[in-house]
C-alpha cells in the first residue's frame, strides 16, 4: 500500500527529486521523492520547513493577551485563532455560557471568516487550475488569467471575499487581527446602521454563493472519473457536530467517522481532547502527526476540514446548503466521498451555508443587545475548540494564580491533516508518477493534491502562494542529473547536468 512509501529501505541507493517550495499553498513546505533506477517512487514525503515556537514564548504572558496575540499565527484565518483563544479564556474566567449578544456576534464574526477564507481558496487560488486545467501554461494559470478570461467569476470572488472581510471588520474592529472577542464576551455589538450595511448586500452574496456551488458541480461533471479518483484517500474524519448531529462551526462535540462512514465516536467533550488525541513527532517535518489515541498512530490518523465536515454531519440547518449536501451525499453512493478534489465542492457548500446563516443572524435583534460580557470564578485551565476554515482547531492554556500562562498547546487545522496530505501525495505518486519521466505537469499533480486540502502551513508557519518551482534530480552521490525550473516569466526551463 501507499503507506509503505513513507520510508524507503535503502535511501542511499535512490535518486532524490525535490519539489521546493510548494506553490500556491499557504506556507513553506516541500515534497521529496526518492526514485529507484526504473523511476519507481520508493519514498514520498511532505515536509513542513518552518517553526515558530508560540507554545513556549507565550508562557509568562497574561491570559487576556491570548486572543489578540495568538491570532498572529495566521493572517488568513485570524478570527478562528482569536475565537479559539477567547473560548479557552472564557473557561479561564469561569464563564460557561455567554450572553446571547456576545455569542451571536462571535458566531457572526466566525461566519465572515469562513466565508472569506473559502472564497479566497476557491476563486483566487484554486479556480484557475479547475477552470483551465492542471497543464494550462504556468504564466496564465493564475488570478490574472482568471480576471482576463472570466471577469464575472473573478469579480464575484473578489466581492464575496470582501463581504466576509466586512463582516469581520464590523464585528472585530478591523479586517485582519481585530479585537472583538474578550475573555467572557465581546467588546462591541453590531449597531443597527452596521447591520443595514451588511443587509444591503446579503441577498446578492447568497446568490453568488449558490452560483459558485453550481459552477463546481459543472466542473466535476466535465470529468467525473478524474475528479472522484484523484488523490482519493480512505480516511477517518473528525469534526465538531451539534447535539442533533447537524453541521457546526463554532461550538459542539467531536464526531469521528471511519472511512466507510461508520460513526466511531460521537458528541465527545472537547475538554477531553488530551485523552482522545496524541501527536507523533517525525524527524523530517516540523509539523507533528496527530492521531486518535484509541486507534494508535498507524490507523488513528484522520482528515479534518470541509470534506470531513460535510461527510460527518447529518444535515445543514439552512435550506440551500442542505439541498446541496444531499446531492453531495448521493454522489458517494452510500459511502463518504474521499476524493481530494471533492473538497472544493464541500468547501463551496459551506460557503453557501455561511451566507445563508449570516442572512438569518443579521435579522436577529440580539446583535444590537448591550449585555456584552460576563465574569466568574477564575480557573487554571481553558480549552477552546472551533472549526476553522481548514478544520478543527484546538487551543489549550493553563495559567498560574497571577493569570500568567504556564502551559499552552495548539493543534492547528492543517496539522490535523498532516498524515492525510502525506497519504494523498503517496497515492498520486504511485498512480501518476511512478516509472515515468519527470515533467512539470506530472509533478504539479502532487501539488494539486496538497492544494485541495488548502493547507495553511502559515498556521504552523507562513506565506500564501504560488511560490517557485525548482526540481532537481540527483543521483545517489548527490550529483545533479537534471533540473527543471520556472523562468521569471513563468516559462519552464531545463538544465541537465549542472555540477559535473
Q: Scan residues 167-196 and list those touching other proteins (CB under 8 A).
A: 173-177, 179
- Kindly indicate which of the ranges 82-90, 230-238, 274-282, 320-328 contains the residues binding other proteins, using the contact rule CB under 8 A: 274-282
Residue of 15, 24, 107, 118 that binds other proteins (CB under 8 A): 24
The C-alpha torsion from 480 through 463 and 29 to 122, rounded to 10°, is: -110
Q: Which is nearer to other proteins, 18 or 264 (CB)?
A: 18
User: How far apart are the C-alpha atoms of 186 and 86, rounded to whole Å?
Assistant: 9
Helix (H) or strand (E) holding 481: strand 480-486
- Min CB(489)–other proteins separation in Å: 7
- Kindly indicate which of the ranges 50-58, 100-108, 226-234, 237-245 contains the residues binding other proteins, using the contact rule CB under 8 A: 50-58
- Kindly indicate which of the ranges 27-35, 206-214, 216-224, 327-335 contains the residues binding other proteins, using the contact rule CB under 8 A: 27-35
Of residues 161 through 180, those in contact with ligand SF4 by CB under 6 A are 176
Q: Which is nearer to other proteins, 247 or 286 (CB)?
A: 286
Q: Which is nearer to ligand SF4, 72 or 155 (CB)?
A: 72
- Min CB(162)–other proteins separation in Å: 4
- Min CB(149)–other proteins separation in Å: 12
Residue of 279, 364, 431, 475 that binds other proteins (CB under 8 A): 279
Nearest alpha carbon to residue 189 among 374, 375, 372:
372
User: How far apart are the C-alpha atoms of 357 and 347, rounded to whole Å?
Assistant: 15
Q: What is the chain's Cα-based Rg?
A: 23
Asked if the bond preceding 21 is cis, omega within 30° of 0, the reply is yes
Q: Strand, coil or helix: what is 260? A: coil
What pairs with residue 303 in β-bridges?
237
Of residues 347 through 406, those in contact with other proteins by CB under 8 A are 396
Q: Which is nearer to ligand SF4, 179 or 368 (CB)?
A: 179
Query: How many C-beta neighbours within 10 Å does residue 245 have?
Result: 17
What pairs with residue 407 in β-bridges?
398
| DSSP code at position 231 | T
Binding partner of 377, given other proteins, ligand SF4, none, CB within 5-8 angstroms per partner class: none
Of residues 212 through 241, those in contact with ligand SF4 by CB under 6 A are none
29-35 vs 41-48, strand pairing mode: antiparallel
- Min CB(222)–other proteins separation in Å: 23
Of residues 150 through 169, those in contact with other proteins by CB under 8 A are 151, 154-155, 158-159, 161-162, 165
- Min CB(465)–other proteins separation in Å: 3
Of residues 399 through 458, those in contact with ligand SF4 by CB under 6 A are none
Residue of 6, 23, 264, 480 that binds other proteins (CB under 8 A): 23
Distant-in-sequence, close-in-space partners of 370: CB < 8 Å, separation ≥ 6: 101, 189
Cell of 356: 445563508
Q: Which is nearer to ligand SF4, 75 or 403 (CB)?
A: 75
Of residues 50 through 79, those in contact with ligand SF4 by CB under 6 A are 72, 75
What pairs with residue 47 in β-bridges?
30
User: How far apart are the C-alpha atoms of 252 and 43, rounded to whole Å?
Assistant: 39
User: How far apart are the C-alpha atoms of 188 and 199, rounded to whole Å?
Assistant: 19
- Min CB(172)–ligand SF4 separation in Å: 14
Q: Which is nearer to ligand SF4, 72 or 436 (CB)?
A: 72
Binding partner of 285, given other proteins, ligand SF4, none, CB within 5-8 angstroms per partner class: other proteins
Distant-in-sequence, close-in-space partners of 363: CB < 8 Å, separation ≥ 6: none
- Closest CB to ligand SF4 belongs to which residue? 72
Own/partner pairs, 279-288, CB within 8 angstroms, 24+ separation: 279/411, 279/415, 284/45, 284/47, 285/45, 285/46, 285/47, 285/48, 285/418, 286/47, 286/48, 286/49, 286/50, 286/51, 286/460, 286/461, 287/48, 287/414, 287/415, 287/418, 287/457, 287/460, 288/415, 288/418
- Kindly indicate which of the ranges 94-102, 139-147, 230-238, 329-337 contains the residues binding other proteins, using the contact rule CB under 8 A: 139-147
Binding partner of 381, given ligand SF4, other proteins, none, CB within 5-8 angstroms per partner class: none
- Min CB(73)–other proteins separation in Å: 6
Q: Does 291 bind other proteins (CB under 8 A)?
A: yes
User: How far apart are the C-alpha atoms of 178 and 187, rounded to whole Å?
Assistant: 11
Phi and psi angles of residue 493, each rounded to the nearest 5 degrees, phi first? -125, 165
Write down the H helix ranges in 334-431: 342-362, 413-416, 418-428
Q: Which is nearer to other proteins, 99 or 165 (CB)?
A: 165
C-alpha dist (Å) from residue 473 to 2, 36, 134, 453:
22, 12, 22, 27
Q: Which is nearer to ligand SF4, 213 or 459 (CB)?
A: 459
Q: Does 259 bind ligand SF4 (CB under 6 A)?
A: no
Q: Does 91 bind other proteins (CB under 8 A)?
A: no
Q: Does 319 bind other proteins (CB under 8 A)?
A: no
Binding stretches for ligand SF4 (CB under 6 A) = 72, 75, 176
Amino acid at each position: 500500500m501507499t503507506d509503505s512509501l513513507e520510508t524507503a529501505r535503502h535511501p542511499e541507493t535512490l535518486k532524490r527529486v525535490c519539489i521546493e517550495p510548494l506553490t500556491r499553498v499557504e506556507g513553506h513546505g516541500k515534497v521529496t521523492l526518492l526514485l529507484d533506477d526504473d523511476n519507481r517512487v520508493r519514498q514520498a514525503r511532505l515536509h513542513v520547513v518552518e517553526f515558530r515556537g508560540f507554545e513556549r514564548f507565550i508562557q509568562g504572558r497574561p491570559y487576556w493577551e491570548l486572543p489578540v496575540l495568538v491570532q498572529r499565527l495566521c493572517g488568513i484565518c485570524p478570527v478562528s485563532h482569536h475565537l479559539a483563544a477567547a473560548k479557552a479564556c472564557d473557561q479561564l474566567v469561569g464563564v460557561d455560557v455567554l450572553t446571547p449578544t456576545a455569542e451571536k456576534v462571535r458566531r457572526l464574526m466566525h461566519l465572515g471568516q469562513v466565508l472569506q477564507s473559502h472564497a479566497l481558496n476557491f476563486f483566487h487560488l484554486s479556480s484557475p487550475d479547475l477552470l483551465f486545467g492542471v497543464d494550462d501554461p504556468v504564466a496564465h494559470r493564475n488570478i490574472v488569467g482568471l480576471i482576463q478570461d472570466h471577469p464575472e467569476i473573478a469579480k464575484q470572488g473578489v466581492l464575496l471575499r470582501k463581504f466576509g472581510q466586512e463582516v469581520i471588520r464590523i464585528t472585530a474592529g478591523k479586517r485582519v487581527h481585530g479585537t472583538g472577542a474578550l475573555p467572557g464576551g465581546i467588546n462591541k455589538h453590531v449597531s443597527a446602521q452596521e447591520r443595514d450595511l451588511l443587509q444591503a448586500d446579503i441577498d446578492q452574496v447568497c446568490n453568488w454563493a449558490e452560483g459558485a456551488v453550481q459552477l463546481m458541480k459543472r466542473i466535476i461533471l466535465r470529468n467525473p472519473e478524474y475528479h472522484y479518483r484523484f488523490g482519493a484517500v480512505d480516511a477517518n474524519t473528525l469534526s465538531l457536530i451539534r447535539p442533533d448531529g447537524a453541521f457546526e462551526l463554532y461550538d459542539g462535540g467531536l464526531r469521528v467517522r471511519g472511512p466507510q462512514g461508520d460513526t466511531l465516536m460521537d458528541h465527545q467533550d472537547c475538554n477531553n481532547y488530551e485523552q482522545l488525541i496524541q501527536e507523533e513527532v517525525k524527524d523530517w517535518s516540523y509539523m507533528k502527526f496527530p492521531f486518535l489515541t484509541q486507534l494508535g498512530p498507524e490507523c488513528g490518523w484522520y482528515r479534518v476540514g470541509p470534506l470531513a465536515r460535510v461527510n460527518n454531519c447529518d444535515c445543514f440547518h439552512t435550506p440551500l446548503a442542505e439541498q446541496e449536501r444531499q446531492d453531495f451525499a448521493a454522489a458517494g453512493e452510500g459511502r463518504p466521498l474521499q476524493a481530494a478534489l471533492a473538497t472544493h465542492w464541500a468547501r463551496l457548500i459551506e460557503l453557501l451555508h455561511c451566507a445563508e446563516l449570516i442572512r438569518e443572524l443579521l435579522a436577529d435583534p440580539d446583535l444590537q443587545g448591550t449585555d456584552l460580557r460576563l465574569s466568574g470564578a477564575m480557573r487554571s485551565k481553558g480549552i477552546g475548540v472551533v472549526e476553522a476554515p481548514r478544520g478543527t482547531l484546538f487551543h489549550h492554556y493553563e495559567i498560574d494564580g497571577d493569570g500568567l500562562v504556564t502551559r499552552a498547546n495548539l493543534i492547528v487545522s492543517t496539522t490535523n491533516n498532516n498524515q492525510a496530505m502525506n497519504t494523498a501525495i503517496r497515492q498520486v505518486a504511485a498512480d501518476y508518477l511512478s516509472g515515468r519521466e519527470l515533467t512539470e505537469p506530472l509533478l504539479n499533480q502532487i501539488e494539486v493534491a496538497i492544494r485541495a486540502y488548502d493547507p495553511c502551513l502559515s498556521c504552523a508557519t507562513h506565506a500564501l502562494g504560488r511560490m517557485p518551482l525548482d526540481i532537481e534530480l540527483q543521483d545517489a552521490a548527490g550529483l545533479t542529473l537534471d533540473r527543471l525550473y520556472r523562468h521569471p516569466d513563468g516559462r519552464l526551463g531545463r538544465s541537465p547536468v549542472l555540477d559535473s
